[in-house]
């Protein structure tokens, strides 16, 4: 089969001929059909993020989410069958009875300090014609789901904000602020907030043009607020747009070096409001103890999403409440991954870049 192989962070990266993986207990072999390309994948491969992303100790195939068809299953796999289409979730957590199980993102990075052995067993991701995956990271699709592979491959764009919105218990009829709404995951969070029944979703960010596109796709219950960087003005604009204060907010800013927008979203919450932190901001989030206490705020960090997120999102999409067709997908062949990574680095809002095998 053909597979992209990275020797090490910043090292040689090439499409190679390699053996098709053999199944083993707990494993499922998937013939890949499509895989999304993260906006920062080029930086990951080039080694520019090596302080954050930890790779296997040998050459490996990158690539996180995706969709494909099962061709073989190993022993101790009970529900996934050959011939089924499945969606890949890269977040793999050791299935053992322990307080803090090892976890990793397959095809991207180790996470917990003890995830080295986990990563050694499952080093390879989705940028290949075949992928060997643990059964627990696969969501089988019903045969009547007629979405094309490239559309199925981008459900991870929605799954990440779904993790945050379920973590803070977004309820129908509430008002939601999405900070970073002009970004990859933030734009999806706006559509998702509408799908989950929010009475109003405030799409907040600095790119007014992209915010307008996202709000147009979301419909009449969404409103854009372009942030200018003046904390007092941004808080006032968000509070006005949310009718005096929002019930909930989700922060999805990517690699921000300034916490002002995140703090504006927090301070635009009403008493008892909840904030989910799911971005990758590098600046400290400085808060006064008394301010949090007096306002009864709940601030929750959330990494990734529940194991059943893809199935739940699929049901929302097939029922028509989640508008996945609003995502603008740019397609590339597997061999064109370098060009796809360049295109992904330029993604904004509802854009997505997908490899189609």
Determine the pLDDT at residue 99: 86
Q: Record the pTM.
A: 0.95
With H, G, I as helix, E, B as strand and everything else as coil, classify residue 338.
helix
Determine the pLDDT at residue 209: 95
The separation between CA 245 and the C-alpha centre of its own chain, rounded to angstroms, equals: 27
Contact, 29 vs 70, CB < 8 A?
yes
CB atoms within 10 A of CB 20: 15
Task: Determine the Cα–Cα distance for residues 22 and 33; give it in Å rounded to an integer.
Answer: 19
Determine the pLDDT at residue 248: 98
Determine the pLDDT at residue 12: 96
- Tokens 């800013």, residue located: 253
Please name which of 8, 34, 52 lies closest in space to residue 254, comparing C-alpha atoms: 52
Determine the pLDDT at residue 268: 98
Residues in the chain: 357
pLDDT tens, the chain, 357 aa long: 999 999 999 999 999 999 999 999 999 999 999 999 999 999 999 999 988 899 999 999 999 999 999 999 999 999 999 999 999 999 999 999 988 999 999 999 999 889 999 999 999 999 999 999 999 999 999 988 989 999 999 999 999 999 999 999 999 999 999 999 999 999 999 999 999 999 999 999 999 999 999 999 999 999 999 999 999 999 999 999 999 999 999 999 988 899 999 999 999 999 999 999 999 988 999 999 999 999 999 999 999 999 999 999 999 999 999 999 999 999 999 999 999 999 999 999 999 999 999
Determine the pLDDT at residue 50: 85
Radius of gyration of the chain (CA): 20
Task: Determine the Cα–Cα distance for residues 14 and 203; give it in Å rounded to an integer.
Answer: 39
**Phi then psi dihedrals of residue 97, to 5 deg:** -80, 90
Helices (H) and strands (E) in the chain, counts: 11, 18
């Amino acid at each position: 089969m053909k597979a992209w192989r990275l020797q090490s962070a910043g090292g040689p990266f090439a499409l190679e001929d390699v053996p098709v993986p053999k199944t083993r207990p707990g494993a499922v072999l998937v013939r890949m059909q499509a895989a999304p390309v993260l906006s920062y994948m080029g930086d990951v491969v080039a080694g520019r993020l090596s302080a954050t992303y930890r790779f296997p100790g040998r050459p490996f195939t990158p690539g996180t989410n995706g969709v494909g068809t099962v061709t073989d299953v190993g022993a101790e796999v009970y529900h996934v069958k050959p011939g089924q289409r499945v969606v890949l979730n890269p977040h793999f957590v050791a299935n053992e009875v322990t307080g803090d199980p090892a976890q990793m993102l397959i095809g991207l990075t180790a996470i917990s300090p003890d995830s080295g052995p986990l990563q050694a067993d499952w080093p390879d991701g989705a940028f290949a014609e075949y992928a060997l995956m643990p059964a627990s990271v696969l969501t089988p699709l019903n045969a009547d789901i007629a979405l094309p592979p490239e559309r199925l491959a981008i459900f991870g764009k929605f799954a990440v904000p779904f993790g945050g919105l379920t973590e803070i218990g977004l309820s129908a009829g509430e008002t939601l602020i999405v900070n970073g709404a002009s970004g990859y995951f933030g734009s999806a969070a706006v559509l998702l907030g509408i799908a989950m029944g929010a009475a109003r979703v405030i799409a907040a960010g600095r790119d007014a043009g992209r915010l307008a596109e996202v709000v147009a796709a979301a419909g009449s219950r969404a409103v854009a607020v372009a942030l200018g960087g003046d904390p007092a003005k941004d808080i006032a604009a968000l509070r006005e747009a949310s009718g005096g204060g929002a019930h909930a907010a989700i922060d999805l800013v990517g690699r921000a070096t300034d916490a002002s927008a995140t703090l504006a979203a927090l301070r635009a919450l009403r008493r008892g409001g909840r904030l989910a932190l799911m971005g990758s901001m590098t600046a400290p989030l400085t808060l006064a103890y008394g301010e949090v206490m007096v306002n009864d705020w709940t601030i929750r960090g959330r990494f990734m999403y529940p194991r059943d997120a893809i199935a739940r999102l699929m049901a929302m999409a097939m029922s028509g409440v989640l508008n996945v067709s609003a995502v603008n997908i740019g397609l590339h062949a597997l061999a064109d991954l370098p060009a796809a990574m360049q295109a992904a680095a330029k993604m904004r809002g509802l854009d997505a870049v997908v490899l189609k095998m």
